[in-house]
Amino acid sequence: MPHLLRTRKKPARRAVIILLIATVSALFLTSRGPSAQGKARQPSVHLNPVVAKLAEGKPFFGLSTSDLSLANARVMARAPVDFVYVDMEHTPLNFESLHNFLVGMTDKAMVLRKGNLQPDVALFARFPQEANESTWVVKQALDLGLMGVIFNGVDTKEQALVAVRSMRYPQLKGSAHMEPRGIRGSAPALAAWMWGLGTDEYERHADLWPLNPDGDLMAILMIESVEGIKNLDQILSVPGIGAIFLGAGSDLSHSLGVRLDNPELEAAFQTILKSCKAHNVPCGISPSTAPDIAKRLGEGWKMIRTTTPAITAWRASNPGR
């Protein structure tokens, strides 16, 4: 009998050892190296899949939703995209529902498959406040564990600067990335839990990319007016902007005083894209079909917000992308 007991314990011990090795490996992938407040360096794994794509020079794809049900959260977590953003600009501002949606997107099978803490799909959100009025909203959103904020109606450099500052913690002395100075208050416990990190490690990742090469947060600014286009070069001079996004163009068409099918709107799109390229900032647009996606990628757009059928059809004709 003692011999049998010893024999049965060996598989159990092996299972425990394998589990410990896998856990340590995952932690090593996401936490090795000095603090991001010191010298800039490339992390081994970006926890934000959008940042991971951009760091490799690749475009990124996403969806928008206003359905905050847990059923939809599970669908979005396994959608064939890199991000999904919750539109709270035109729907109720509900942080409890946003939090529950993020919890619902947690995919343990994905963690096991990848062997690290990077989700397949990052969660962003867009809010009703203008960029210079949204600092408290940004604080709430980031403390829930979101990986990016989309700021609507950015018209000036000053608004862009507030947007960037609101997403950054104040930096430690000697940081290589002091400016723009952050104003985000420190309460990282919930966000760190959602990201699967300790609080110190969360703060290392919770900075803006590409300003900080270790950062995993994205500040995405929407240009939706004639004034925004006029001031775009100044806006793009603000460090820390992850991307410029045009959406479907309806607000911009209203500002221009034309309909969506007017050539003036497309000319405005191209003007914005040209400025983004000049400043090396990814530019985003919302094509609705697979041919439109191919066209926009060919023009140099890096952020594509579309629909699941469109992205599925495009990927079917572009395997491996």
Instruction: Give burial (CB, 10 Å; 0-12/13-18/19+) of 156.
Output: middle
Confidence (pLDDT) at 318:
85
Pull the structure tokens for residue 202.
Answer: 């969360």
Is 154 found in the same domain as 201?
yes
Burial of 221 (0-12, 13-18, 19+ CB in 10 A): buried
Can you tell me the distance from the alpha carbon of 46 to that of 110, in angstroms, rounded to the nearest whole number?
15
Tell me, what's the pLDDT at 29? 42
In the block, residue with structure tokens 């914005």: 272
Same domain, 134 and 202: yes
- Check whether residue 124 and residue 18 sit in a common domain: no
Say yes or no: 228 and 266 in one domain.
yes
- Tens of pLDDT, residue by residue over 128-179, are 877 777 899 999 999 999 999 999 989 999 999 999 999 999 998 988 999 9
Here the tokens at position 59 are 């475009």
164 plus 241 within the same structural domain: yes
Q: Are residues 116 and 232 in the same domain?
A: yes
Shortest CA distance to 80 belongs to which of 317, 308, 245? 308
- The closest alpha carbon to 146, from 137, 134, 157, 155, belongs to 137
pLDDT computed for residue 22 by the predictor: 44
**What is the reported pLDDT for 66?**
95
Number of domains in the chain: 2
Supply the pLDDT for residue 215.
96
The verdict on residue 157 lying in a domain is: yes
Confidence at residue 44, expressed as pLDDT on a 0 to 100 scale: 67
Average pLDDT per 10 consecutive residues for the chain, totaling 321 residues = 43 43 41 36 76 96 96 96 95 94 94 92 92 88 97 95 96 91 94 95 96 97 96 97 90 92 95 98 96 97 96 88 69
CATH of the domain at 87: 3.20.20.60
**How many whole angstroms separate alpha carbon 232 and alpha carbon 284?**
14
Domain co-membership, 9 together with 89: no
Q: In terms of residue numbers, what domain contains 154? A: 43-317
